[in-house]
Amino acid sequence: MKEGGDEDRSGVANSNSSTGKGHRNGNCRPITDDCFPSITTLSQAKEEIRRLREELDALSCDEHRQHTPSPNGNSTNAITPPKKKIEGGRAAVMARAPAEQDYVKTTIPKPKSVRDIINKAIQSNTLFRACSEEELVDLVDAFKSAEFPKAATVIRQGDEGEDFYVVEKGSLEIFVNVDSCSGKELKVGVPYLPGSAFGELALMYGSARAATIRATQDCKLWSIGRTAFRAITSQHKLKRTQMHLQFLRDVKIGDNVLGEVLSPEDINAMALATQKDSFAKGDVIVREGERGDIFYLIESGTVEVYKKGEKEEQPVASLSSGNFFGEKALLSEDVRRATCIASSDVKCLYLMREDFDLMLGSLQDLLDGKRGGVARRDNSRSDDIVASVLGGKVGNASTGNKNATTNTKGEMAAVAAKGNGNQTTVKYDLADLETKQTLGVGAFGRVKLVQATDAMGKKRSYALKCLAKTSIVENGLQDHVLNEKLIMEELDHPFILTFHCAIQNTRHIYFLLEVLEGGELFKFLRAENQFPEAWSRFYAASVVLAFCEIHARKIAYRDLKPENLVMDSDGYLKLVDFGLAKKVGAHGGKLWTLCGTPDYLAPEVILNEGHDWAVDYWALGVLVYEMTAGIPPFYADDPMEIYEKILSGHVAIPSHFSRGMADLVKKLLRTYQSKRLGRTKGGCAGIMKHRFFSGMDWAALTKRDMDVPIKPSSDLNRNFDFFPEQSEDVVGESLWTPIL
């Protein structure tokens, strides 16, 4: 066990991972063209932009340095002294898919030559990789034209991006501001010419543009905005998902119709395990007499069925969209009884028996009503799963509702919430809370350390998350905040932050939370650089147990990272910040909001394919890797490069990883959700039984009866950064008064 409390391990508990951006100040220096290498290719330009970003972080000076008064009142060229570097956490990103009724597709007329240019540009782009032909047609339809005269700025560095551009005619250059003092720009890379495209990150979420794009000739561009892109792709994929689910419900095997004998969760899992294939007219899909283990569903096109011995080799049946064949292959290795040939171009869904068994177990058992024990289902509570792994009973980790201590003084009474993690929940008025200090500052407010006197007259400490109503309303996040509250009060586990109650006044919504005095795991990881495998195993196991509880309730957490794992005073981890968590319910068991932290995004989130809690198991793989290697597996300075690495499907395993850890990471970082450990049969129990966790005393961990790797300092000031206090009056009043 390592003692915590070094100054460079200062952490912020429950701060929504938004405690400010890291920066490094240095002296301004003259920048001339000969300071930079010759750049002639796009790859060189990308590398130069990455280098310049680092340079920009290092360059910071007083913008009025020519007129800064000295202590004696005279003007001087002195610059502001460098400040201490701040180790800030990585911010999450979010871009909600517009509701179907919120977006009406608009078709912009354009000649075939322009459509061809746009088609060629987008088909080679990472973000369009998962788009069907129908999606691509609608996307091209939605591109709108814009003309820019010579010297006009199309994109300005630092502005928030919204549009992705394709060049029809003209030429544009890339410029990077390399000196914040003088405004000096450096031209980088090669020009954007007809057929080029740029600005794709804006299609994912709003972020600051990394460079300025300026026309060097009169230009005509075609662009599509993020709202249109995400609406079109989400709507197509949602409709396709619903169609596939109905196809699967209608499948009949013997006397059983799958939709009548399988649960909606099972049907969703089947859909998740299906893959796509295409066949040209005349292709033989299956041949009579061959052995097969693949089941086919026709999405579009027609298939003719032939049997040997039939007169004149005429088809005995013709199949079309929604029809299926080879269904017996899901039960056992099937000897094909007919030949199926594509009579037109055909698109099929297919499901291999191996993948079905991995996801759901034996189909015959499901048809017979044998659904297995708690380890078989992935919606079992964490206590049950631990018991199944150990082959016996364990003490309850979560105790449900407790007798709440009630203080309901004044008009702004708090609403009592469900207890969790063996802790008593309380409810207080604002007047009962005494503010001690600010623990962290986030995008919509701050987290404060407060104290209250309980019914026995004893002072108790809590964390008070203060969310400014005006900021919430301005950003349209009212439902988002209320959803966070509902999820937190539902969860009940020793490794999940305890939510006590919600309070409001005209300026803020307040969440009264358990105070975690140990600091973020992120701070300790940065101080250590990397953890020994034993430490990574301990912390990963705590996350797995928390996920057992969360996923049992069909909740996708969606923002796992070291910044959201905070230690209590005993050194045990708690999962915090449920701002991006969401229940998986309608829409075929999928969620469509792009959200999470770039290093931790799963492929299905990047490609807007719809996702569920399988994204959490992907993030768990990233976390285990980062804790033990010191960096995430897909690290890059440029966000699009991160996403390209994630979608490549390649994970470079460090040589110091044990075989067990390497195998766990690979199985968690499976591109296909249906093959990802944790989302497969058994759920969390499958992870707990993996050899990497061999020897882990799950019962002792559940009871918090183990030696912890790091024992945090008991000095609160060492575990928290300093933030100046702010008056409540700084935040404006709001008419929004939700029912809490």
Q: Would you please indicate which residues are annotated as catalytic (active-site) residues? A: 559
- Residue 470 near residue 732, CB atoms below 8 Å: yes
Which H helix or E strand runs over 2? strand 2-3
3-state secondary structure 494-551: CCECCEEEEEECCCEEEEEECCCCCEEHHHHHHHHCCCCHHHHHHHHHHHHHHHHHHH
User: What is the phi-psi region of residue 225: left when phi exceeds 0, alpha when psi lies from -120 to 50, beta otherwise?
Assistant: beta
Both tokens of 541, joined, read 């196991």
β-bridge mates for residue 460, sequence order: 452
- Residue 251 near residue 331, CB atoms below 8 Å: no
If you write DSSP's letter for every residue of 537-603 in order, what string do you get? HHHHHHHHHHHHHHHHTTEE----SGGGEEE-TTS-EEE---TT-EE--HHHH-B--EEE-GGG--H
β-bridge mates for residue 144, sequence order: 223
75: buried, middle or exposed (CB in 10 Å: 19+, 13-18, 0-12)? exposed
**What does the CA dihedral 264, 611, 609, 205 come to, rounded to 10 degrees?**
150
β-bridge mates for residue 448, sequence order: 438, 464
Residue 106: CA count within 13 A, CB half-sphere = 10
305 closest CA partner among 313, 296, 295, 297 = 313
Taking the C-alpha atoms of residue 141 and residue 149, their distance in angstroms, rounded to an integer, is 25
**What does the CA dihedral 641, 644, 650, 655 come to, rounded to 10 degrees?**
10
Task: For the chain, report the end-to-end CA distance as a whole number of angstroms.
Answer: 42
For the chain, what's the residue count?
740
Q: Is 615 helix (H, G, I), strand (E, B) or coil?
A: helix
Which residues, 6 or more positions from 387, have their beta carbon under 8 angstroms from its beta carbon?
Answer: 374, 393, 394
Phi, psi for residue 182 in degrees, rounded to 5: -100, -15
CA of residue 497 relative to chain centroid, distance: 20
Both tokens of 197, joined, read 């495209």
**What does the CA dihedral 29, 33, 38, 43 come to, rounded to 10 degrees?**
60
- Residue 383 near residue 397, CB atoms below 8 Å: yes
Taking the C-alpha atoms of residue 226 and residue 504, their distance in angstroms, rounded to an integer, is 34
DSSP annotation of 706 reads S
Taking the C-alpha atoms of residue 207 and residue 216, their distance in angstroms, rounded to an integer, is 25
Both tokens of 115, joined, read 């459509």
Say what angle helices 226-249 and 133-142 make with each other, to 10 degrees. 160
DSSP annotation of 238 reads H
DSSP annotation of 109 reads P
Count CB-CB contacts under 10 A for residue 706.
17
Taking the C-alpha atoms of residue 510 and residue 501, their distance in angstroms, rounded to an integer, is 8
CA of residue 181 relative to chain centroid, distance: 36
- Residue 292 near residue 329, CB atoms below 8 Å: yes
